[in-house]
């Protein structure tokens, strides 16, 4: 069984944001699958997705500080006409990735106790972000 849904997220500030609940709300049919996979894809080149700590918000702050240190805005980039945060956002997006896949177990995401789905917003004003959610697996009996 295949299920697909599009999720439009509101604009987020630069940083790492937990979106697990928004993903689950956009795909209520996930509960009908016994076992399978959920593929989450972001349709943008200046934001990314990852899995990480879902409890302590300090982790999200540290993630932003670390990735911004690794990919600084003051590097002499050539691509600058969309702003000083644009080219670093493209690099961060490529480093973090445009998709994640999570197992489905008995109608729920088989995330670890402390795992959550993150939207990684790499622009100061990235705007609304679009995700494609594709679940496939065996239906519950």
Output the tens digit of pLDDT for each of the chain's 141 residues.
999 999 999 999 999 999 999 999 999 999 999 999 999 999 999 999 999 999 999 999 999 999 999 999 999 999 998 999 999 999 999 999 999 999 999 999 999 999 999 999 999 999 999 999 999 999 998
Which pLDDT does position 123 carry in this prediction?
97
pLDDT value of residue 120:
98
pTM score, whole prediction = 0.96
pLDDT the model gives residue 11: 98
Place of tokens 């080219």: 87
Closest to 63 (Cα-Cα) out of 85, 92, 42: 92
Residue 137 lies in a domain: no
The reported pLDDT for the residue numbered 33 is 98
Confidence at residue 139, expressed as pLDDT on a 0 to 100 scale: 97
Kindly report the CATH number assigned to the domain that includes residue 106.
Answer: 2.60.120.460
Question: Contact, 121 vs 14, CB < 8 A?
Answer: yes
pLDDT the model gives residue 16 = 98
The verdict on residue 2 lying in a domain is no
Instruction: Compute the distance between CA of residue 123 and CA of residue 126 in angstroms, rounded to an integer.
Output: 5
β-pair type (129-139, 15-18): unpaired
Residue 57 lies in a domain: yes
For residue 141, the model assigns a pLDDT of 84
1 in a structural domain: no
Q: Domain range spanning residue 114?
A: 10-32+40-118
Q: Is 65 a domain residue? A: yes
**DSSP E strand boundaries for the chain:** 2-9, 15-18, 33-42, 47-53, 99-105, 108-109, 115-121, 129-139
Counted domains in the chain: 1
């Amino acid at each position: 069984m295949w299920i697909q849904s599009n999720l439009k997220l509101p604009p987020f500030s630069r940083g790492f944001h937990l979106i697990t609940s928004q993903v689950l709300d956009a795909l209520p049919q996930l509960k009908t699958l016994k076992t399978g996979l959920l593929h989450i894809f972001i349709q943008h080149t200046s934001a990314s997705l990852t899995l990480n700590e879902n409890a302590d918000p300090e982790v999200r702050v540290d993630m932003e500080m670390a990735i911004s240190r690794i990919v600084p805005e003051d590097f002499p980039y050539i691509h600058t006409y969309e702003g000083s945060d644009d080219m670093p956002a493209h690099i961060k997006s490529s480093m973090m990735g445009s998709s994640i896949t999570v197992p489905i177990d008995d109608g729920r995401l088989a995330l670890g106790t402390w795992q959550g789905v993150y939207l990684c917003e790499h622009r100061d004003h990235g705007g609304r972000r679009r995700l494609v959610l594709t679940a496939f697996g065996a239906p519950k009996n």
